[in-house]
Amino acid sequence: MKSDTTKINYGRIGFHYYPDMDHYKNSDLNQWLPELKALGANWLSVKASLDRAIPEAFVTGLVNEGIQPILYFNLQIDSKIDINSLELLLQSYKKWGIKHISLFDKPNMHGQWGSSSWTQKGLVDRFLDIFLPLANLIYSNGLTPIFPPLEPSGDYWDTAFLRAALTGIKSRGNTQLLNNMVLGAYAWAGNQPFGWGAGGPERWVGARPYFTPHGEENHLGFRIFDWYNAISEAVLNKKLPILLVACGSNIGDEQNEQLPAVDEISHNFRNLQLARFLSNEHEAMRDGATFEPIPDNILAACFWVLATSEDHPEQKNAWYRSNGTTLPVVQSFQSRVASQGSNPGLRKQDKTINTKPPKQKCVENISHYLLLPNLGEKTTDWNINTLLPFINKYHPTVGYSYKEASQASRVTMIGDEQSFSKDFEDQLRNKGCQVHRIIGNGTSIATQLETI
Whether the CB-CB separation of 181 and 135 falls below 8 Å is answered with yes
Rounded CA-CA distance 119/110 in Å is 9
Mean pLDDT of the chain: 87
CA angle 310, 316, 317 (to 5 degrees): 110
Check whether 396 has a pLDDT greater than 90.
no
Check whether 301 has a pLDDT greater than 50.
yes
* Res. 352 pLDDT band, cuts 50 70 90: very low
The pLDDT value recorded for residue 400 is: 74
Rounded CA-CA distance 109/149 in Å is 11
CATH code reported for the domain at 13-340: 3.20.20.80
Of 161-175, 188-202, 333-347, 360-374, which gets the smallest average pLDDT?
A: 360-374
Give me the DSSP letters along 268-333. HHHHHHHHHHHTT-GGG--TT---PPPPTTEEEEEES-SB--TT-TTGGG-SB-TTS-B-HHHHHH
Q: Does the pTM of the predicted model rise above 0.85?
A: no
pLDDT tens per residue across span 193-243: 999 999 999 999 999 999 999 999 999 999 999 999 999 999 999 999 999
Rounded CA-CA distance 200/25 in Å is 43
Q: Give the mean pLDDT of 325-343.
A: 86
pLDDT tens per residue across span 152-196: 999 999 999 999 999 999 999 999 999 999 999 999 999 999 999
Rounded CA-CA distance 307/110 in Å is 27
* Res. 355 pLDDT band, cuts 50 70 90: very low
Q: Give the mean pLDDT of 364-368.
A: 72
CATH code reported for the domain at 366-451: 3.40.50
Check whether 381 has a pLDDT greater than 50.
no
Helix (H) or strand (E) holding 81: none
Cα 442–chain centre separation? 31
pLDDT tens per residue across span 242-292: 999 999 999 999 999 888 899 998 999 899 989 999 998 765 444 344 678
Of 99-113, 317-331, 422-436, which gets the smallest average pLDDT?
A: 422-436
The pLDDT value recorded for residue 254 is: 94
* Res. 418 pLDDT band, cuts 50 70 90: confident
* Res. 9 pLDDT band, cuts 50 70 90: very low
Residues in the chain: 452
Rounded CA-CA distance 259/379 in Å is 7
The domains of the chain are located at: 13-340, 366-451
